[in-house]
Amino acid sequence: MQKGFFRMIYIFLIFHLLFISSTLRSDEKKTDPGKEAYKILKEADSLARSGKILEAVSTYLKASDIYKKALKDDPDNRIYKTNIKYCLGKRGYIQIKEAQRTMKEKKYDDSAKFFNGASKAYEYALKKLPGERNFIQNLKYAKYHGAEVKFQSLLEKKAPAPEFELQSFNGRKITSENLKDSVVLLEFWAGWCPSCKKSMPKLQNLRKKYFLKGLLITAVAMDKVKTWRKYGSEKKAVETAKNHNFSFVWGTEKIANDYGNFNSIPTVILIDHKGNLYKKVPYKEQDEKSLSTMIEILLKRR
């Protein structure tokens, strides 16, 4: 009886030791999620340094997802939180840097792709970390310059001009469709701009010389657009428009974005009779003689 009892104890101890050993081995196999996430983060850094941008973007996202899981077990871990923010921000940042590099090389399609990717990355990041100031600023930057290079790409390809629908000063709607079959000169300006005001007589002369030959001039006033608005400038724009018989319309955020978010005015865009972009005219070439030469080239093609 006593021997049987000790045998039972012995067997129990053997099974207990085997269970503990098995548990320890199982725990050893489990990966610390924080360490795993950090390893993947470093891998993403390495990919970014070697120029494998899109691979790095997806790897940073993978690391941030693992850190989120790790936070469930350790919700107050500051390192995890910091590294999530790092991963989410880095996804957009490396794409902005690549967009800037390709923009300098005039690879505008590539640059537009990376600015677009950066915008999406920061939009996603802001869903996870709302109100993060750097994310908001970088998102604005990516969208602004993304529009710039997209338009630059359209210009290089002589692609169809972005369509628009705008309200004239007298309340009528003016659309790109209305301008079909004509050579079009768009001038972006504002009522407070002295150079723009000086430009109006020149536009009037061009209209007089070429209207019957097929030129249409549309002056797009940016006074109602937040980034160009100044106190009282709308009234100045309306006053400037008097005694000119070409079209005056109010610009919008959309047309500014579609036409490359130009950073100075007056900005002149020439469009051929087929509705394709011809040229964004530099300020030094906006004199009447230079514009006349370009307009005559386009009218001959009509």
More confident residue, 55 or 25: 55
CB 107 within 8 A of CB 76: no
Peptide bond into 160 cis (omega under 30): no
Specify the 3-state DSSP secondary structure of 280: strand
Q: How far apart are CA 131 and CA 69, in angstroms?
A: 22
- pLDDT class for 30, splitting at 50, 70, 90? low
pLDDT of residue 267: 97
What CA–CA distance (Å, rounded) separates 10 from 236? Answer: 101
pLDDT of residue 33: 87
Amino acid in the structure at residue 83: N
pTM for the full model?
0.84
Residue 191 has pLDDT above 50, yes or no: yes
| Average pLDDT rounded to a whole number, residues 122-150 | 97
- State the first-to-last Cα distance of the chain, in angstroms, to the nearest integer: 115
Neighbouring C-beta atoms of residue 246, cutoff 10 Å: 19
pLDDT at 105 > cutoff 50: yes
| Percent of the chain topping pLDDT 70 | 90
pLDDT at 234: 95
Strands (E), the chain: 165-168, 173-175, 183-189, 215-221, 247-250, 267-271, 277-281
Domains and CATH numbers, the chain: 33-156 (1.25.40), 165-301 (3.40.30.10)
- What is the chain's mean pLDDT, rounded? 91
Please write the tens of the pLDDT for every residue from 247-284: 999 999 999 999 999 999 999 999 999 999 999 999 99
| Secondary structure of residue 279 in the 3-state scheme | strand
Q: Measuring CA to CA, which residue among 246, 294, 242, 302 is closest to residue 268?
A: 294
Nearest to 182 by CA among 194, 174, 192: 174
Distance, in Å, from the CA atom of 35 to the CA atom of 259, rounded to the nearest integer, reads 47
Beta strands in 43-177 (DSSP E): 165-168, 173-175
Residue 11 has pLDDT above 60, yes or no: no
Q: What value does the mean pLDDT take over residues 122-146?
A: 97
Closest CA to 252 of 149, 181, 178, 175: 175
pLDDT of residue 125: 97
At residue 17, the pLDDT reads 41
Look at residue 31 in the predicted model and tell me its pLDDT.
66
